[in-house]
Amino acid sequence: MSTIEGGNGGDGEVTGEQELSATRPTEVSRLDRVVIRFAGDSGDGMQLTGDRFTSEAAAFGNDLATLPNYPAEIRAPQGTIPGVSSFQVHFADYDILTPGDRPDVLVAMNPAALKANLGDVPRGGMVIVNTDEFTKRNLSKVGYEADPLGDDSLSAFEVYEVAMSTLTQGALADTGLGKKDAERCKNMFALGLLSWMYHRPTEGTEAFLREKFAAKPPIAEANILAFRAGWNYGETTEAFKTTFEVAPAKLPQGTYRQITGNTALAYGIVAAGQRSELPVLLGTYPITPASDILHELSKHKNFGVLTFQAEDEIAGIGAALGASYGGALGVTSTSGPGLALKSETVGLGVMIELPLVVIDVQRGGPSTGLPTKTEQADLLQAMYGRNSESPVPIVAPCSPSDCFDAALEATRIALTYRTPVLLLSDGAIANGSEPWLIPDVTTLPDLRVSFASEPNAADGSGEFWPYVRDPETLAREWAVPGTAGLQHRVGGLEKADGKGNISYDPDNHDAMVRLRQAKIDGIDVPDLEVDDPSNGEARVLALGWGSTYGPIGAACRRVRGKGVPIAQAHLRHLNPFPANLGEVLAAYDTVVVPEMNMGQLAALLRAKYLVDVHSHTKIAGLPFKAEELEHVFTDITDRTSGANKEVVVK
């Protein structure tokens, strides 16, 4: 956590028994942004290395965005391309929107990491390799017929060869660790080298290592020694003539912390419980990439949060809906395959009209698909993936930090309108991180609800009718079981309007279906805001939802930088749509919708608004790059501009 006071920041004071060298090379290059990718075997600790570098960048005051990328297998064959794990961090002295398209620096811990990632490095980019792993056996595993470090195949890059394993083992020679355990610390050597190269603070990492390995002090000190060895290697070797500085970003004043999307969702649920003054039950089953929501919420029992790891997805949502029936805030979390299993209980929640927050952290599919890769292809499942007419509101955050607000918004809708709400995050948001401005709690929405307290029967019988509705929201009254005089029954069979008795009457069923739909259609959501610096000159609108916000925004910046006007808008509410969406769509000649699916939002927009949306899709398990969307937007704006030109016939 760091406090940003107008963008101040600097190197931290060095602590520890072995102080790091305090001198600097004479040449320091000042940059406004850098993208670094750490890549290695899935056992090399690249996620930890990247996360620590990110934490120090956040503490320093840079704006940042990250992209972890790792295999789904517990351990793919060592040294093979399927086993490569990487972590990309983009940090800058200004507001950034994406983890970066291409790494300026690639740290490759073995030949597989080099081969898997070299294609993303631009010409002239820096490549730092661990030469100890470039053995004949490891090279052959990934199809290298010759050592790329010994020929001219890397001539387009600035290559630094570092024997990280050997140097790490040398630094730890006196610790008593075996060779294998010592070599495991080489990721900290790489982190120390990159921390030196980019003038990152060091004391935070050393404190983290001591805390992480508190139960094993020798391991903690070994990692710290390796970290310092990497720093001192950069300081003393003649190979690196230049270091780099990226100044802190000029962010709004306040207290910031680095946060991932899953952590932000968990904090949002905690805040929702506090602001509604309701106990919270998370009924769930572990599933990638949503499990961290359970892990985080389990730490917060002191805020009235109870976590229940059920035996399966169906039991998890059943417990959550039961908690809502009992007067608590019921929440369940899952990914696409789990949402399919939960669909019947979501339908039950629609029928009995109780608040329920259903979090779906989307991943590549179908079936088990790509568990650790991102996708946003569950929109139509969220919209229609239940039997019969079962409408539910849908909310989608656009970034890791936005997950906090999205969780509060989903809770507001669920409590106000007595309905299950689908919250659609995805893998890129869930595992990615960025600085989060910690809000003032007093500014968060008041989510308190009123429970039924007395009979409400319209016929004066003194009974409680569970389906008497608020005339404004159409929400039914919420009665806590056991409240004297409010005996009632709810269930999955169709209910008579008002009384709530089981009913097979055709006219009643027609009326109840339309009432449930009208309740969702009438949900109060903000109008869609359009970002159009051209003040109406733009003829093309780039419209997105979910994690496409960053790439779309970055691409629009690039297009506008060329002097070409383009408007951007992003949907948080996908059901119901904002009331002004039709008007916004009609205001532009062309609407382009980039999605990480086969065009699901585009299909919904075409059906509802009869607009010929230009759909641009990607289903690769990876987010859009700003570069690729820049080309798409440029092509579309060129064609739209050409179509609007007057043709003079002589």
pLDDT at site 72: 86
CA distance 273 to 329: 7
Q: How confident is the model at residue 26 (pLDDT cuts 50, 70, 90)?
A: low
- Residue 650: what pLDDT? 40
Spatial separation of the C-alpha atoms in residues 276 and 278, rounded to whole Å: 5
Distance from C-alpha of 192 to C-alpha of 49, rounded to nearest angstrom: 10
471 phi and psi angles, rounded to 5 deg: -65, -25
pTM score, whole prediction: 0.92
Sign for the pseudo-dihedral over CA of 468, 471, 473, 478: negative
275-318 residue pLDDT tens: 999 999 999 999 999 999 999 999 999 999 999 999 999 999 99
Phi/psi for 560 (5° steps) reads -65, -30
Positive or negative torsion for Cα 371, 377, 383, 384: negative
pLDDT of 21 reads 53
By percentage, how much of the chain surpasses pLDDT 90?
89
Q: Show Cβ contacts of residue 80 under 8 Å, excluding neighbours closer than 6 positions.
A: 112, 141, 142
Percentage of residues of the chain with pLDDT beyond 70: 95
Per-residue confidence (pLDDT) for residue 441, from 0 to 100:
93
Question: What angle, 0 to 180 degrees and rounded to 10, lies between the N-to-C axes of helices 46-60 and 186-197?
Answer: 30
pLDDT digits over 43-99, tens only? 899 999 999 999 999 999 999 999 999 998 877 888 999 999 999 999 999 999 999
Asked if pLDDT for residue 20 goes beyond 60, the answer is no
249 pLDDT higher than 60 = yes
Non-local (6+) Cβ contacts of 280 within 8 A are 269, 270, 272, 273, 297, 303, 304, 305, 306, 328, 329, 331
pLDDT band at 4 (very low <50, low <70, confident <90, very high): very low
How far is it, in rounded angstroms, from Cα 579 to Cα 237?
63
Phi, psi at 502, each rounded to 5°: -60, 135
pLDDT tens track for 385-439: 999 999 999 999 999 999 999 999 999 999 999 999 999 999 999 999 999 999 9
Whether residue 491 contacts residue 352, with contact meaning beta carbons closer than 8 Å, is answered with: yes
Average pLDDT over the chain reads 93
**Helix pair angle (186-197, 164-171), 10° resolution:** 100
477 pLDDT band, cuts 50/70/90, is very high
DSSP state letters, 298-323: TT-GGGTEEEEE-SSHHHHHHHHHHH
Average pLDDT over residues 549-572: 98
Residue 474 has pLDDT above 80, yes or no: yes
DSSP label at residue 527: P
User: Which sign, positive or negative, has the C-alpha torsion 317, 318, 323, 324?
Assistant: positive
Tokens 């999955």: give the residue: 492
pLDDT at 142 > cutoff 70: yes
Mean pLDDT, range 125-141, rounded to an integer: 96
pLDDT band at 643 (very low <50, low <70, confident <90, very high): low
230, containing H or E segment: helix 217-236
33 C-beta neighbours (distance < 10 Å), count: 17
User: Torsion-angle region of residue 599: left (phi > 0), alpha (psi -120 to 50) or beta?
Assistant: left
Cα torsion angle, 392, 398, 399, 404, sign: negative
Lowest mean per-residue pLDDT among 104-113, 323-332, 453-462: 453-462
Cβ-proximal residues to 514 (8 Å cutoff; 6+ apart), any chain: none
